[in-house]
Structure 1
Amino acid sequence: MAGRYRWLSRCLLLWTCLLGSGAAHSHETPVALLTIKEGIAGTYWLEWTYYSSRNDVPPQVRWPGHCFEDYPRLECGEQGLVGEVVMPEIGDKYSAAVVQVRRQGAAPRSYTLTGGNPRMVVTADGTVPWQTIAAAYIPLGIEHIMLGVDHLLFVLGLLLLVHGTRSLVTTITSFTVAHSITLAAATLGWVGIPDKPVNACIALSIVVVVVEVIKHRRGEHCLSARLPWLIAFGFGLLHGFGFAGAMSNVGLPPESLPAALLFFNVGVEVGQLAFVLTVLGLYHAHRVLQARLPAWCSQAGIYGVGSIASYWFIGRFAALLAT
């Protein structure tokens, strides 16, 4: 355990050095919403809405060959809007784009495009197969957890509290179950908490884990070290609201809500599992290679992460008070 603590603490130190001052803000999921309203005689009207602080132009769109865009007008002739629509810049400037098609006399249909699936096929009846939903939302979930440094730092902190494989599996499972519950509850509209207090509390959860790790390292009484699954479950409920914030920004197709929610959560779990396995794999390689670093790195890493998480909390709390 001591060897793993030292190695993970050094990883924390490296991560601390890589984090910039802009990390006080929560992970942004830049998205664009395109609403397509059907007019008459194969004419459609386009309207873009932006959810990004980094871009001021919408993604480029490649329409089916028989369609011609003169924004905000789209002409598709007698065939209407059917065929493949592609946004090649998705995954570069934007994490996702939500396209809502409103046809006359029919319920609206929503499509989500991501870097892993930047295209959609519009059919006359507007059906969206589950494979298309999976291809859109699994990569989106992976991206969100991988770019959510605060979530990953919390998971990394949990790894410092566990003893053995069984405890590791129980702890990660508890975190997964907890954030899945609140992600579903918030996305389905059963409960709701504003993003700013959630993000501030997520930063605070990292501080709490760091304090527990330091207490455990000093040999002090620490409930979290004996029952790490408990703190993982408790704070996992909080982190689930953070994931739900990303989902609300991206937008969920109401007609495919359960499938979209499921596949987004699958993506989050895939990314989280990949992160844990990567950390454990690097730790094993560190042991095999018998790499040595100065002893002070162990303490500096965990204190550095605690300091950055505190900075995040102060910045996010200040932003909350400013509203």
Structure 2
Amino acid sequence: MTGARALLAIVLALAATLLGRPAVAHQATIAVLEFREMRPGAYIGRWTTLPKDGDNRIELKMPPHCFLRLPELNCGDKGLVGQMTIANLGEDMSAAIIRVTSLSGETRSYTISAANPVVTVLGTDAPTLETWLELAKTYVNLGIDHILLGADHLLFVLGLIWIVEGGWRLLKTITAFTIGHSASLAATAFGLIGVAEGPLNACIALSIVFVGVEIVKQQRGESGLTARYPWAVAFSFGLVHGIGFASALAGLGLERRILPAALLFFNVGVEIGQILFVLLVLALIWAHRRLGAALPRWSAELPAYAIGSVSMFWFLGRLVRVLVAA
């Protein structure tokens, strides 16, 4: 066990303790506002998904010819076309989806995020290059935010780095994890599989407990399942974590026509965030080795138990929520 690995794991485990939410790891921070056209140019709007008390603070700005006082929106003969934005986005939510249903029943979706604060509502249903660029910018950034703010996912990846170490073996292991969560993310987003969010979050926490136990085994000179079959373990738990990623998009009512693209861009963002995290960990290990700093011998076992304790705390908290809700 190198001092670098111990140092990095201690720091990240403590960060997870301070920043991690024990019971709700994947609570949606994406608001959804639906507008339904009741007569030409006149709409009724309502928030279907919204952070707590968010309706009192959200500053939604509509095109200049539109008059908004929820639940009513009146845009006159022009209809709902032009630019929309949310002035104070980012305080309690990372993005907002605005769904517009016309008199004919056609529904269009627009996503506002910090990376894409202004969206243009078009009078035609045909997507343009600008539409696809807005979609890409929005969902790639959402994916990056989701992985980098997900302490439980990062602790799991850290555990894989710890056990497998560097080189091609680590690259193959991370690739297997990527394939696993990409497959289950797609299957969940398209409604092919579905798992209740509460039990799922408990299972994600339990997967980190498993990795913590594997690290302890490795420290004792035993060959754990992850050390022997890292790709199989990474792929299997990747399936579980992918469903967790999909929960960030669940219930948003995305149009079927943009769902594949939104899913692709979101997953690209998740991968970018994951790669950035892995590169950061490897860079810190390299820097620590270059400095030649040494840690006390007693610190060697602390990181594994810290990771296991944090994840078990999450697991018990999430399990309690499942039992209370049952």
Fold conserved between structures, TM > 0.5: yes
Aligned to 1:9: 9
Structure 1 residue 256: Cα displacement: 0.8
SS of residue matched to 1:35:
strand
Instruction: Report the Cα distance in structure 1 between the residues aligned to 2:166 and 2:293, rounded to whole angstroms.
Output: 22
Aligned to 1:40: 39
1:70 partnered with 2:66? no
Instruction: Report the Cα distance in structure 1 between the residues aligned to 2:16 and 2:270, rounded to whole angstroms.
Output: 23
Deviations 1:252-296 (A, max 9, x none): 222211101111111111111111111111111111222333333
Aligned to 2:278: 276
Native 8 Å contact 2:3 2:300 kept in 1 = no
Q: How many residues align?
A: 322
1:56-67 equivalent positions in 2, closer than 5 A: 56-57=55-56, 59-67=58-66
1:197 partnered with 2:231? no
SS of residue matched to 2:61:
coil
SS of residue matched to 1:204:
helix
Aligned to 1:217: 219
Root-mean-square deviation over aligned CA pairs: 1.9
Instruction: Report the Cα distance in structure 2 between the residues aligned to 1:19 and 1:135, rounded to whole angstroms.
Output: 27
Percent identity of equivalent pairs? 46
Structure 1 residue 17: Cα displacement: 5.1
User: What amino acid maps onto 2:30 in structure 1?
Assistant: V
Deviations 1:209-246 (A, max 9, x none): 01011101111122311321121111111101111111
Native 8 Å contact 2:212 2:308 kept in 1 = yes
Instruction: Report the Cα distance in structure 1 between the residues aligned to 2:34 and 2:197, rounded to whole angstroms.
Output: 25
Q: Which runs of 5+ in 1 are unaligned?
A: none
The structure 1 segments of at least 4 consecutive aligned residues displaced by more than 4 Å after TM superposition are none
User: What amino acid maps onto 2:83 in structure 1?
Assistant: E
Residues 92 and 181 of structure 1: CA distance in aligned 2, closer, same or farther (over 3 Å): same
Residues 179 and 55 of structure 1: CA distance in aligned 2, closer, same or farther (over 3 Å): same
Instruction: Report the Cα distance in structure 2 between the residues aligned to 1:212 and 1:13, rounded to whole angstroms.
Output: 16
Aligned to 1:207: 209
Native 8 Å contact 1:10 1:298 kept in 2 = no
Q: Which runs of 5+ in 2 are unaligned?
A: none
Native 8 Å contact 1:27 1:147 kept in 2 = no
Instruction: Report the Cα distance in structure 2 between the residues aligned to 1:290 and 1:157, rounded to whole angstroms.
Output: 23
Residues 211 and 235 of structure 1: CA distance in aligned 2, closer, same or farther (over 3 Å): same
Aligned partner (choices 294, 301, 317) of residue 315 of structure 1: 317
Return 226-235 or 9-18, whichever deviates more: 9-18
Instruction: Report the Cα distance in structure 1 between the residues aligned to 2:157 and 2:10, rounded to whole angstroms.
Output: 15
Aligned to 1:295: 297
Aligned partner (choices 285, 288, 291) of residue 286 of structure 1: 288
Aligned to 1:239: 241
Structure 1 residue 58: Cα displacement: 5.7
Structure 1 residue 78: Cα displacement: 2.0
User: What amino acid maps onto 2:107 in structure 1?
Assistant: P
TM-score normalised according to structure 1 size? 0.93
